[in-house]
Amino acid sequence: MKRKPLIPLVAMMALLLMLGVPEPKTAVQAQATNLLKNPGFEGPYSPNNNGGAPEWIRWHRESDPSLFGDCTNGYRKMPRWGMATDFVYEGSASQYIGNNWDTWSGGMWQNVSVTPGATYEFSFYARGRGSMEPAPAPSYTGLRMNIRAGIDPNGSGLWLDNDVVWGPAGDAHDQWVRFSVQATATGDTITVFTSADWAVQGVNQCYRHLDTYYDAAQLVMVSPPATNTPPPPPPPPPATNTPVPPTPTFTPEFTPTPTATPTITPSPTPTGGRVCVNAFADENGNGVRDANEGYMAGVTFSVASSERRIGEAISAGTETPFCFEGVPAGTYQVTQFVPGALEMTTAASATIDVQEGSTIGLEFGSRLRPRQEIASSDSSSPGTVTSDVAMPTAVMPAPAPDSSTPNVGTSTNVLAWVGLGVLVLAVLLLGGLLLVVLRRG
């Protein structure tokens, strides 16, 4: 049998070696640095943080108590915070924020050191569940959670700051959804916020379970600060050999006297007034801050008139008040809103007249209500969460006297007088009988 020559096969192999075989790509794209502390909301959760994950701070909105009771008002009460292990995106825990029956708005925030002028993206994963039934019943998709991410470019730590950049709001019924926002830092610190708002005006969202979960947060730089590179100078004009005519000499016949130019001082631009507010811990409830009383944190203030709303602020618990700058002259209403754990010891609001260039300082008093532990009977909520709401201690009134029960003291006095009367009557009768016997004798 005649063998086939191997030359064509060898030539083909040599051609393949010359062309080269492409190798699989092994390069991995470098991941940006996550600037957050505890981005996975891991434990251990400290009681001092009231259910908040380490390195994160709780925040919430609270409505005027006069709106409570009607779910279509879209009111907001303080929610509960805790560590969840039943719904986790990554790691071993997630941050739980939720409530039963009462609608709420709040989240977590963290301050982060950044490079001024750089642009950053903040993102996190969230899921939620709104239902009348305990888990594993599915979430009712008709409810609105309004979950979103926020960045304060100047790092004030206040969710109500006018310059907070908020991302688009959305829902996450029974699934993990990524929420994000981008903003450019105006200083060396920015504040990042997670947020959810179950309060919808004109819609009844008061359901038994209004729960949300947060995990896998990330803050990364997406673009460095812009550099101001000056443009190159224009080229010099070409040299020309044009002769310069001689400059004529002129001798004035007199020396002019300089005339003084009056200096015009521009009138100052009106800057408005200044309203400073603070809350003090009125422990004795006398409506006056005494020398031994400090300051109260967590009280919300609002300044508004019939024509405009100046803004809101939350007391920090220090002697330094929060000041609203540039308030236009006019009449305003300053109102305080206290959390459920506090009770007011001064008026809830005050009317002030702001003048141009004036400063008005106000202090509102409040104190802690008597605390009472509230045990939750709902075993479907993740973890064990202790309520932050202080309840007044109930005092039972003394029972009213029963008219069917005889009055022992009164009956004893009546019997004593009756007995004394009978004794006196017996003595008189005995004396009369003795007198009759003596006369017969």
User: Nearest Cα to 368, choosing from 291, 287, 285?
Assistant: 285
Q: Do 162 and 280 fall within a single domain?
A: no
Q: pLDDT (tens digit, 9 = 90+) per residue, 224-279?
A: 998 876 677 787 777 666 666 666 555 555 455 555 555 656 555 558 999 999 99
CATH number at residue 56: 2.60.120.260
DSSP H helices in 24-179:
none
User: Nearest Cα to 169, choosing from 185, 151, 190, 145?
Assistant: 145
Q: Does residue 337 belong to any structural domain of this protein?
A: yes
How is residue 213 written in tokens? Answer: 């979960």
pLDDT of residue 135: 87
Residue with tokens 């007249």: 353
Q: Do 309 and 181 fall within a single domain?
A: no
What's the domain range around 213?
Answer: 47-223
Q: Do 218 and 277 fall within a single domain?
A: no
Residue 94 and residue 194: Cα distance in Å, rounded? 13
Three-state secondary-structure class, residue 97: strand
Q: Do 79 and 194 fall within a single domain?
A: yes
> Residue 5 class from Cβ within 10 Å (0-12 exposed, 13-18 middle, 19+ buried)?
exposed
Write out the H or E segment, with its range, that includes residue 340: none
Q: Do 173 and 52 fall within a single domain?
A: yes
Q: Considering 319, 352, 368, which residue would you say is the last residue of a domain?
A: 368
Q: Do 293 and 215 fall within a single domain?
A: no
CATH number at residue 353: 2.60.40.10
Write the DSSP assignment of 75-90 as a string of letters: -----EEEEESSS-SS
Q: Considering 339, 368, 397, which residue would you say is the last residue of a domain?
A: 368
Q: Does residue 215 belong to any structural domain of this protein?
A: yes
Q: Does residue 166 belong to any structural domain of this protein?
A: yes
Q: Do 138 and 217 fall within a single domain?
A: yes
Q: Does residue 292 belong to any structural domain of this protein?
A: yes
Q: Do 302 and 188 fall within a single domain?
A: no
Q: pLDDT (tens digit, 9 = 90+) per residue, 182-233?
A: 999 999 999 999 999 999 989 999 999 999 999 999 999 999 998 876 677 7
Q: Does residue 96 belong to any structural domain of this protein?
A: yes
Q: In Å, how far are 182, 373, 374, 375, 389 from 396, measured between CA atoms? A: 57, 19, 19, 21, 22
How is residue 161 written in tokens? Answer: 């700051």
State pTM to two decimals.
0.49
How does pLDDT run along the chain (441 residues), one tens digit per residue? 444 454 455 455 555 444 444 444 333 334 689 999 999 999 999 888 899 999 999 999 998 888 887 888 889 999 999 999 999 999 999 999 999 999 999 999 999 999 999 999 999 999 999 999 998 999 999 999 999 999 999 998 898 889 999 999 999 999 999 999 999 999 999 999 999 999 998 999 999 999 999 999 999 999 999 887 667 778 777 766 666 666 655 555 545 555 555 565 655 555 899 999 999 999 999 999 999 999 999 999 999 998 889 999 999 999 999 999 999 999 999 999 999 889 999 999 999 999 999 999 999 999 988 765 433 434 343 433 333 333 332 333 334 434 443 443 444 444 556 567 767 677 777 777 666 656 665
Q: Does residue 282 belong to any structural domain of this protein?
A: yes
Q: Considering 314, 340, 368, which residue would you say is the last residue of a domain?
A: 368
Q: Does residue 254 belong to any structural domain of this protein?
A: no
Instruction: Determine the residue type at 291.
Output: A
Q: Does residue 376 belong to any structural domain of this protein?
A: no
DSSP state of 361: E
Count Cβ neighbours within 10 Å for each residue of 69-78 and write b for 16 or more, e otherwise. eebebbbbbb
Q: Do 173 and 287 fall within a single domain?
A: no
Q: Do 211 and 281 fall within a single domain?
A: no
Q: Do 174 and 322 fall within a single domain?
A: no
Residue 313 and residue 320: Cα distance in Å, rounded? 13
Q: Do 80 and 197 fall within a single domain?
A: yes
Number of compact structural domains in the chain: 2
